Structure 1
Amino acid sequence: MMKKIFLYKLLEDQETELIGRFDTLKEAQEKVIELTEVDEDTTVFDFYTDEQEYEEITDCVKSYTDACNVLGIEPMNEQDMKARGYRPDEIARRKLETITEALNEGWKPDWNNTDEYKYYPYFYIKENAKAQGTAGLSFVFTSNAATATNASFGSRLCFHDSETARYAGRTFTELYEQILIEKL
């Protein structure tokens, strides 16, 4: 465990919003300056910091059950869901939604903000993979390449940063395979 600087924004009705975690107070202050420059109704007095112990979320979420524990919810009863007619891909998608929510630590994408980046795992599907004895789906990540890619993932499966998307793709490849590849 390590100490991090947590930056919060004060909202109405005594509510707060976690803006982010930073390694130094200077980084948190720079973020406040950036936010106040973008929104003229926001001042430095709308924010506060708190130094707290922090364990990386990727160290806490290694499985679907871990994600449920982080969120304080009960894991779904897969046998009951199968008996009610849910397909394996539907169950896998629900698991990935829970995992994504836990890994995002409260961050939700703002689809009205086109300047806010949203990240997804990117996969390479191998041709004739089953004949070769491999899984057929491997995790791939590209950045700053001469080409662009487009994948149709649901908004419930996007991440706040590329490192977390990369972690999810590598760690939960089997669940992604269940929702992305139709088994014939």
Structure 2
Amino acid sequence: MDIKKENVLAAYETARKAGADSTMKVLEQLFGEETFKPKDITERIKTFEDACRELGNGHPFVCAYRAWENGGLNGQEDIDAYLKLRIICAALNEGWEPQFTEDERRYYPWFWLYTQAEIDSMDEEERQDRRMMSTGDYQTDYAGFAFAISINAPSTAHADIGSRLCLKSDTLAVYCGKQFIDLWADFYLIRK
């Protein structure tokens, strides 16, 4: 029997769209799970649920999130968002973890945030130059790289990036910032 790869992939996609999990499992057993995974991680991780699937239910981050979720602790969107973002970042990193060596680069999505009054005071050209994005509840002009620091009297307060939210490339940092902007907004507590 001669089986063409494009036919197997088409059958898998048909089963996926129909919600035929058992058919998908049979195809995965016959041809291997890797055959059906999109090669690019940004194609595989579009939602929080995708990230959980990518890591698997036994991953410590997924287990911790499920315990948090089952604990019934409501009204703490920043903690919920952090637990979700560390799962997403781990999935996007595909096993890479920062080692904090001198020559290692780590990336993080940064946002330049404006108040509604600042946005309203911008002329049309400034708004277009800022490439406004909306989370639904909040608007931000930039999802890329920036740095913010808070300076107090004779000393400075400085916080760097949490290692669980580092990404292995600038491309992944920009993707994560844009694709999961609502979670980042919750993490930074910029929603009302």
TM-score, reference length from structure 1: 0.58
- Describe the shift of the 1:134–1:65 C-alpha distance in structure 2 as closer, same or farther (beyond 3 A): closer
User: What amino acid is the match of 2:91?
Assistant: A
Instruction: Give the deviation of 1:86 after TM superposition.
Output: 6.4
CA contact (8 A) 1:137 1:177 kept: no
Distance, in Å, in 1 between the alignment partners of 2:117 and 2:97 is: 35
- Describe the shift of the 1:68–1:116 C-alpha distance in structure 2 as closer, same or farther (beyond 3 A): same
1:125 aligned partner = 113
Higher strand share: 1
- Describe the shift of the 1:130–1:69 C-alpha distance in structure 2 as closer, same or farther (beyond 3 A): farther
Output aligned runs, 1:26-105, within 5 Å.
Answer: 55-73=39-57, 76=66, 80-81=70-71, 83-84=72-73, 87-105=76-94
1:38-71 deviation line (CA, Å, top 9, x unaligned): xxxxxxxxxxxxxx97610000000110000001
RMSD (Å), alpha carbons: 3.1
Structure 1 stretches lacking a partner, 5+ long:
1-51, 143-147
1:115-173 deviation line (CA, Å, top 9, x unaligned): 1000001101111269968623344324xxxxx73573311001001000010000000
Larger-Rg structure: 2
CA contact (8 A) 2:86 2:165 kept: yes
Paired residue secondary structure (2:178): helix
Paired residue secondary structure (1:140): strand
Relative CO higher for 1 or 2, CA cutoff 8 Å, sep ≥ 6? 2
Paired residue secondary structure (2:112): strand
Paired residue secondary structure (1:76): helix
- Describe the shift of the 1:126–1:107 C-alpha distance in structure 2 as closer, same or farther (beyond 3 A): same
Instruction: Give the deviation of 1:78 after TM superposition.
Output: 6.9
Q: Which moved more, 1:58-67 or 1:149-158?
A: 149-158
Distance, in Å, in 2 between the alignment partners of 1:62 and 1:103 is: 10
User: What amino acid is the match of 1:168?
Assistant: C
Name segments (4+ residues, structure 1) moved above 4 Å. Answer: 129-134
Higher helix share: 2
Count of residues in Structure 1 that have an aligned counterpart in Structure 2: 126
- Describe the shift of the 1:134–1:100 C-alpha distance in structure 2 as closer, same or farther (beyond 3 A): same
TM-score, reference length from structure 2: 0.56
Percent identity for Structure 1 against Structure 2:
32
Distance, in Å, in 1 between the alignment partners of 2:118 and 2:55 is: 36
Output aligned runs, 1:92-171, within 5 Å.
Answer: 92-111=81-100, 113-128=101-116, 135-142=138-145, 149=147, 152-171=160-179
